[in-house]
Amino acid sequence: MRTTSTDEIAVTDDLASTEKEKPPYPSIPRALQIALLVSVLGVLAAGLTWWFGPWSHKFHIRHMGFLELHWYTESHPKDGYAWRELGLRLARDGDAQLAEPALIQATLLNPNDPEPPTALAEIYIAKKHYKEAFELLKSVTSRFPNYELAHVDLGRIYTHKASYLHAADEFQTAVKLDPKDAVAWRELGICYLQMQQSANAEQAVQRALQLDPKNPDYLALASSVDAAVGKIDRAVAEARQAALLAPQNLPIQSNLVTILLQSPRNPSDIALAAQTLDYIRQHAPTAPLLPYQEGLLAEQQGHWQEAVHDFEQAIQLNPSYDAGYYALGQAFQHIGRTADAAKLFALYQKRQDLRRRIEALQIELGSNTNNPKLYVQLAKLQLQLPDLAGAIESLQNAHELAPNDPTITAHLQQLQQIQNAQAPVGP
C-alpha cells in the first residue's frame, strides 16, 4: 500500500493555502464598476422618462381599454391620436354611428394622416353616401398617392358607378403599391371582365388565386373568367371547388349551375346542375336568376316550351338581365317562332348598345364629375333599360350639383314616386 510522504503533504498544504487566498471571481477595476453603474442607471432613467413622458403617448393610447379611451377623448378633445384610435376601433367593430364623429374629429385634428379619412369614406360607402366618400378618397389619393387602401376604396366607388376604366386604373395603382393584395387583384379582374378584356381578367384573377387559393369567391370569379375564354374544364373544376368550400353560399352555388348549364360537357354536368338547382330552389325560391337557370335546364333536357315559359318569367322578374332576352330568342327560334326570335335578338342588341353608351357616359363622368347635364343624360339612358334605381341615383347626383334646377327636381320626384308605388307593402 502506497503512503503519502511528508514532502507531498507540504506541497498539498501550500496549494490549498493558495486557493483559499485566490478570490472566486476576477476583480473589476473600480473605475469600470462606476462606469457600469452609471450606464445601468442611465438606461433605467431613460426608460422611466420614456414611460412617463410624451414619447410613450401613442403606446399608452393603443393599450387603453375602450371605456378608458372614450373617457380620455372627452377630457382631451384636442388629442388627435386618441380620436384616431377610438374611431378606427369603432369602425373595426362595425359601430359606424359612433365611429363617424370620432373619425371626423381625427381627420380635422391631424389632416396629414390618411387612415382616418379613408376609414370614414368606407363608412360613407356602406351608407351609400357615395358623393361624400368619393370626395374624401379623391383628396386622400391626391395628397397621399402611395396609400394603397384609398386607391382600392376609390376603385370600388368607380365600380359601383360602372366606370370600369377608372376603377381599373385605381386597382392597377393598388397592386403596384402592394402586389400581395389579393382583394385588389380580384377587383381588377372584375373590371377587366366587365370591359371584355378576358385575357387581362384571367391574369388578374389567377394572381388573386395564387395569393389566396382556397377563397371560394376568387374561385367562382375565376370560373366565370375561364368560361368566358372557353376554358370549360378548368371553369367547371373551379366552380365545383368553390361550391364545395362554400356549400351554403347561394350565389356561389348559382354560379356553378350557370357554368354547368351554359356549356355542359356530359350528362353528369346536367345532373349536377339539376341537383344544385333543387338546393337553391329549396333555400331561395325567389332568387332572381332561378327562372333563367330553370330555363337553361329545360333547354338541355329538350323541354323547349317549358324553357320559353321560364325565360319569359326570368325577363319579367329580372328585366335588367340581358342574357334572358338572348336565351328567350334562341328558344323561340328552336320551336319555329322565328319572327318572335328576331324581335328578341334585336332587343338584345339594342340593350347591348345602350350599355355601351352608358359605359361611355360613365367614363366621361369619371373626369367630369361636376356636370349635372351628364347625370341627366345618364338617367335617360338608364330608364330605357329600364334601370329605375340607377336613374334615380343619377338624378340625385344631378340634383346635388344643381339643387335649384326645377326640371331635375321634378324628374327626380316623379321617379321616386314610381319607385315608392312599386315597393312591396309590408304586413
Taking the C-alpha atoms of residue 66 and residue 88, their distance in angstroms, rounded to an integer, is 12
b/e per residue, 181-197, with b = 16+ CB within 10 A? bbbbbbbbbbbbbbeeb
Taking the C-alpha atoms of residue 246 and residue 89, their distance in angstroms, rounded to an integer, is 29
b/e per residue, 223-250, with b = 16+ CB within 10 A? bbbbbeeebbebbbbbbbbbbeebeeee
The residue type of 272 is L
Let me know: does 287 contact 277? Beta carbons within 8 Å.
no
pLDDT tens-digit map of 275-298? 999 999 999 999 989 999 999 999
Let me know: does 381 contact 365? Beta carbons within 8 Å.
no
**Least confident span in 28-42, 145-159, 219-233, 298-312:** 28-42
Does 23 score more than 60 pLDDT?
no
Report how far Cα 285 is from the mean position of its chain's Cα atoms. Answer: 28
pLDDT tens-digit map of 317-337? 988 899 999 999 999 999 999
Give pLDDT, residue 76.
87
Give pLDDT, residue 67.
83
Radius of gyration for the chain, computed over Cα atoms and rounded to the nearest angstrom: 34
CA distances from 169 to 68, 176, 191, 366 (A): 43, 11, 10, 11
pLDDT band at residue 56, thresholds of 50, 70 and 90? low
pLDDT band at residue 9, thresholds of 50, 70 and 90? very low
Residues 6+ apart with CB under 8 A from 91: 99, 103, 119, 122, 123
pLDDT tens-digit map of 174-188? 999 999 999 999 999
Give pLDDT, residue 46.
46
What is the rounded (10 degree) CA torsion for 165, 168, 170, 174?
-170
Does 234 score more than 90 pLDDT?
yes
Does 49 score more than 90 pLDDT?
no
